[in-house]
Structure 1
Amino acid sequence: MKKVGAVRSVVCSILVLLLCVTSFTGCGKKNDAANSGGNETSVEPGKVDKNQIFKAEKIDGILAQGERIVCMECIGDRIKAFVSTEEEKDRCISFKPDGSDVQTFDVAIGEDYHSQYCTFDKDGNLFLNCFYEHYNGAPTEESSDEASDAASATEEALPEVIDDSSKGGKAYIIKIDSSGKELFKAELPEELTEDPFLSITAMEWTEKNGLVLCTPRGIETYDEKKGFNVILDEKALGGSYDGFGTLFKDSDDRLYYEGNGEFACCEVDFANKSLGEPLKGFEDSMYEFFRGADHNLYVKSFDGIFTYDSNQGKLEKILDYDYSNIGSGQWTTVGCAVALSDKEIIADVPLDYNSELNRLTKVDPKDVPDKTLITMSAMNMDMRVESQIMDFNRTNDKYRIEVTKHYDYQDDFNNDVVSGDLPDIIMVSGIYSDMYSDFGKCVDKGLFLDLTKEFEKGGAFGDIEMLPNIAEMMKTDDKYYSVIPSFAVVTYAMREQDAGGKTSMSYKDCEEMAKSHNFEIDKAFGGMIKKDNLVAHEWKFNKNKYIDWENSKCDFDNQDFIEFLNFVNKFPVESDDYPKDGEAFMNPDFKYANGEALFRESPFSNMDSYIELKQGIFKDNVTLIGYPSKDGENLSYIMPIAFAVNSKTANKEGACEFIRNLFDIREGQYNEVPYAGFPADKSRFEAELERSTKEFSGDSESDYFYFGDKIKKKPLSQEEVNGFKDFVIAIDTRYESDDEVGKIISEECASFFSGKKTAEEVAGLIQNRVSVYVNENS
């Protein structure tokens, strides 16, 4: 089976995400459930409801790496699941609830098809919706029969894919029995396949009414003998119906439709061809549903799992994801699930960018240990940190981390500073990235704990040898008030052969090189770059020369900044590379691969992103030249993930223990989380670099990247790794974006770009305004 194209894969992913977002709109609103007659109770922050804690245990031997569960049901005394991968290698799995007696067969319908929605009937037969796209002829019965033979290891090719996307495609419903034998294959009517991808958007099987579908025509049934039959048309589903909806049934075989507007969670009345009253308890919130023993329905939201009695409209929370530490932090939810009882659930649990099959078992409240709460706040929460919080809470018997505040704006943090209402741990990356002067003011006010001694022998971080440049970035007044466990690197890159031996570029070098390649300057930088964006953001590469917060000084009225302004002024006001209405978006990185651009802004959060730059985007050796400057200095910066500890914390030991835990990355995590960041610990940083010199087996999805095609990574040479290491530890600039300074620069530069003022005049105005700002905020 082969993908028709990368764009379709992206669209599929977007649709799945949109459907998930729709299903979970308003989730976690505890008061909504309580007001609707449910037993949901509000728990005071920091307090753990021990009645809502489940233990997660991985069920080995079911899912292969990279597989995701599309649908899962309990059929008799077995659990059946249909699973797929990014490459659409599908299979059907059956196993006993204890995880034993695993039976499986490949679902090989044919090449060039996409499987979408599926469901099982009471006998365990699989109903699968799939589509073939843009063929010069429909698949023949002979080829599809051969291709669908699950016992055959060979997949027969279907007719050749053509590029004319206006010709639609073919969509099918296929029924496959428990042995993998295809029982029938029904082609959907032409009116449903104008876009075969959207021909069916939901599928459910009921004992009373058979197979039920959501299609562009509404809700309809399909029977092998009677064919398609529309039960509720678009009009009956309301004016907002656009072909999208969700179907689910309860343990009493009643079918419900979840859609837009007024029709939220309504029972489908087949006899009267209408929708019943909405289920009680979901007036203001929409959830996702699954079935199981002991209750009519089970309900998933973004904060836990509930039981639901559809007869009484009673919603009761039984599992809290955070209390139970289920998920990765980024994805505190579960995927497909089956409830064996209200005390045991089999569920597909997302972990970073993978998932695993877990058994969730209720923990006796008396066996839940009391832990000391460590509170934490953040402005821009990093994905790996969220995962590390979950890992820490799962394994630490003494402390529990709870993120009590997510700052949306700098003012939110400033208000807490004024009130003194700071948590034990403050993720200060957000402060660095918005207004570093506030960090200095916090230190001056004594709000952050001096952690210098913790880096000495016997201290919490005494066993950590920091990269020297990162250690310097953590200092304020030669003391450590923050800790940086990981970081990203931001620079500019170009082909090594184009750099001609240079390791950095002056403005003049860039202009001459662009001219030698017959590029306009903006095209040399990949297009899609406007002068207002450049002037507001790229000055940060050289911000060390412009602002000295420690000494309350700034220097914009100099030749370096003036030449920066003159360089930026050569870029257009608007880029003509942005797609116009109706035009498809093309990945701008293809321009670098095709030699149509020279200089690329390149962030690296691990060695995989560096490998992709070399082997995919440029398909050649690269030189990391940094942003250009007046004198050709290599301007690159470090973007840290940093933490501080409240000086008034009563839990210094626990706070430091958690931050120390952030240095310990489990094996393979840098593969699993693309934005994990480089470790700031010297030995771990070197180990991460060394990993990239090893041969990639090809057994894992992390051994590949996608750039047009699926590309297997090649190991880097020791020389390449050493060069990258030397480059990183030479960077002495920490990312500190000040929105107010950027605003001042943008405002004053408008008159320069319009020709009303010279660069020298504007530099002087910026100098005056920023000086006042720095003095007022230092």
Structure 2
Amino acid sequence: APYIRAFERGGALYQALMSFALDGFIGKSDIVGTEHGWTLDEMLALQAQYAPGAPGMGGLSRDAAAGRYIDCIYTEFIDWETGECSFDSDEFVKIIDYLATLDESIDDDKRRVTYLLDGEKIISPITWHNVIHLMSYDVVFGNIKYTIKGYPTNGKNGIACSYTNSPALGITTACTDPEGAWSFVRTLFSEYIGDSGIGLPTCKKALDVFNAKWMTENTWINEDGEEVVEWKFVGGLVDNEIDPNIMLYAATQEQVDRFYELIDACDLVWGKDDTITDIAKEELGPFFAGNRTARETANMIQSRVRIYVSEHIR
């Protein structure tokens, strides 16, 4: 599966998550198009056309957006096989320049999706843990068609597999009982416990069971002997918060198919190395304050991350 291949390094899978979430952006299809992938230049051109003077990710402050963006794309600038880094590239400098244009602060009382629906921003960040999120946004958007966009990259969809409360599991080369370790890991990825946590189970069979539950209607028989279909879920999930005004019936096959398509579109992995993210944030501070150029900032990040990677590469 593509979302499994996203964790590979050099064609080999060294670790995988028991469960994951989908991370990206949502936008109106008539503005951002219907494809998941886009480049930074394409996103900037659309923002200049439809939201001039108001760039950014609806509902995220500059610092929050920078952390989120870097977490999801820094792996694109590191070759863990060779230790080479490319944070001093023109592409990364362009990303830094873009981050500087974002809102320094936001209205915490305003829902993220509202920025999008009101036309203030062209994208809003999303993190989806299950098909309920898709069903909820279907209600919120009504007749307005929307598209899930990835993080701007070159040649990828850009939709990321992000971490939930599930750990990433692997077997070390120092393991004295690899068969026993593999038996344990295989059990944790089985269909029997795959849907017991938060997020989407990595096991395909568990994922099928997970979605089948949401496709099963809640019914009861009234006093006239008639079958009545009732709500499946009271309170939709929008911006990862419960919206009590949304009432959801069982998921349709079309909704589940769309959700599987999103899962198959995942080809990035949310980075989980806080050291690299912290380095980037530290170096971005002086740039945001106007004390350093984007190029100087990129060079500083390149120097520090390259040293860190060289110390940890095998």
For the superposition of Structure 1 and Structure 2, which TM-score range results when normalised by the shorter chain? 0.7 to 0.9
Which whole-Å CA distance do the structure 1 matches of 2:51 and 2:11 have between them?
Answer: 50
Cα deviations by residue, 1:332-391 (Å, 9 ceiling, x for unpaired): xxxxxxxxxxxxxxxxxxxxxxxxxxxxxxxxxxxxxxxxxxxxxxxxxxxxxxxxxxxx
Aligned to 2:23: 490
Which whole-Å CA distance do the structure 1 matches of 2:29 and 2:217 have between them?
Answer: 24
Aligned to 1:643: 169
* Number of residue equivalences: 294
Note the C-alpha offset of 1:709: 0.9
Note the C-alpha offset of 1:470: 0.9
Instruction: Give the AA of the match of 1:639.
Output: S
**Residue 677 of structure 1, aligned match among 193, 199, 216:** 199
Change (3 A) 1:624 1:665: farther
Cα deviations by residue, 1:94-128 (Å, 9 ceiling, x for unpaired): xxxxxxxxxxxxxxxxxxxxxxxxxxxxxxxxxxx
1:485–1:680 contact (8 Å) kept in structure 2? yes
2:171–2:181 contact (8 Å) kept in structure 1? no
Aligned to 1:529: 61
Change (3 A) 1:690 1:593: farther
Secondary structure of 1:602's partner? strand
1:729-768 pair list within 5 angstroms: 729-768=264-303
1:483–1:644 contact (8 Å) kept in structure 2? yes
Which whole-Å CA distance do the structure 2 matches of 1:511 and 1:752 have between them?
Answer: 20
2:6–2:269 contact (8 Å) kept in structure 1? no
Secondary structure of 2:190's partner? coil
2:157–2:267 contact (8 Å) kept in structure 1? no
Aligned to 1:621: 145
Which whole-Å CA distance do the structure 2 matches of 1:651 and 1:776 have between them?
Answer: 27
Which whole-Å CA distance do the structure 1 matches of 2:113 and 2:191 have between them?
Answer: 34
Alignment TM-score, normalising by the size of structure 2 = 0.76
Note the C-alpha offset of 1:713: 3.6
Secondary structure of 1:744's partner? helix
Q: Aligned pair 1:506/2:36, yes or no? A: no
Aligned to 2:225: none
How large is the RMSD of aligned CA atoms in angstroms?
3.5
Instruction: Give the AA of the match of 2:139.
Output: Q
1:663–1:679 contact (8 Å) kept in structure 2? no
Which whole-Å CA distance do the structure 2 matches of 1:543 and 1:654 have between them?
Answer: 31
Note the C-alpha offset of 1:693: 5.2
Secondary structure of 2:107's partner? coil
Which whole-Å CA distance do the structure 2 matches of 1:505 and 1:658 have between them?
Answer: 36
Higher relative strand content: 1
Note the C-alpha offset of 1:610: 2.1
Q: Aligned pair 1:634/2:157, yes or no? A: yes
1:527–1:575 contact (8 Å) kept in structure 2? no
Note the C-alpha offset of 1:511: 3.8
**Residue 561 of structure 1, aligned match among 59, 73, 92:** 92
Which whole-Å CA distance do the structure 1 matches of 2:65 and 2:110 have between them?
Answer: 22
Note the C-alpha offset of 1:552: 1.5
Change (3 A) 1:651 1:748: closer
Alignment TM-score, normalising by the size of structure 1 = 0.34
Higher relative helix content: 2
Which segments of 5 or more consecutive residues in structure 1 lack a partner in the other structure? 1-466, 579-584
Note the C-alpha offset of 1:596: 4.6
Secondary structure of 2:191's partner? coil
Which whole-Å CA distance do the structure 1 matches of 2:118 and 2:275 have between them?
Answer: 39
Which entry has the higher C-alpha Rg, 1 or 2?
1
Note the C-alpha offset of 1:714: 5.6
Change (3 A) 1:556 1:696: farther
Which whole-Å CA distance do the structure 1 matches of 2:281 and 2:181 have between them?
Answer: 44
Which whole-Å CA distance do the structure 1 matches of 2:301 and 2:60 have between them?
Answer: 26
Which whole-Å CA distance do the structure 2 matches of 1:664 and 1:625 have between them?
Answer: 30
2:26–2:123 contact (8 Å) kept in structure 1? yes
Which whole-Å CA distance do the structure 2 matches of 1:492 and 1:485 have between them?
Answer: 23
Cα deviations by residue, 1:302-349 (Å, 9 ceiling, x for unpaired): xxxxxxxxxxxxxxxxxxxxxxxxxxxxxxxxxxxxxxxxxxxxxxxx
Which whole-Å CA distance do the structure 1 matches of 2:247 and 2:121 have between them?
Answer: 22
| Higher RCO (Cα < 8 Å, 6 or more apart) | 2
Aligned to 2:223: none
Aligned to 2:134: 610
Note the C-alpha offset of 1:742: 1.9
Cα deviations by residue, 1:13-68 (Å, 9 ceiling, x for unpaired): xxxxxxxxxxxxxxxxxxxxxxxxxxxxxxxxxxxxxxxxxxxxxxxxxxxxxxxx
Note the C-alpha offset of 1:771: 1.1
Change (3 A) 1:689 1:520: farther
Which segments of 5 or more consecutive residues in structure 2 lack a partner in the other structure? 220-228, 237-241
Which whole-Å CA distance do the structure 1 matches of 2:155 and 2:99 have between them?
Answer: 16
Which whole-Å CA distance do the structure 2 matches of 1:576 and 1:700 have between them?
Answer: 35
Change (3 A) 1:753 1:714: same
Aligned to 2:191: 664
Aligned to 2:261: 726
Note the C-alpha offset of 1:556: 0.7
1:390-405 pair list within 5 angstroms: none
Note the C-alpha offset of 1:678: 1.7
Aligned to 2:226: none
Change (3 A) 1:599 1:468: closer
The share of aligned pairs that are identical, in percent, is: 20
Aligned to 1:198: none
Q: Aligned pair 1:549/2:84, yes or no? A: no
1:183-198 pair list within 5 angstroms: none
Cα deviations by residue, 1:410-460 (Å, 9 ceiling, x for unpaired): xxxxxxxxxxxxxxxxxxxxxxxxxxxxxxxxxxxxxxxxxxxxxxxxxxx
Secondary structure of 2:268's partner? coil
Which whole-Å CA distance do the structure 2 matches of 1:477 and 1:528 have between them?
Answer: 34
Instruction: Give the AA of the match of 1:643.
Output: L
Q: Aligned pair 1:702/2:225, yes or no? A: no
Change (3 A) 1:774 1:650: closer
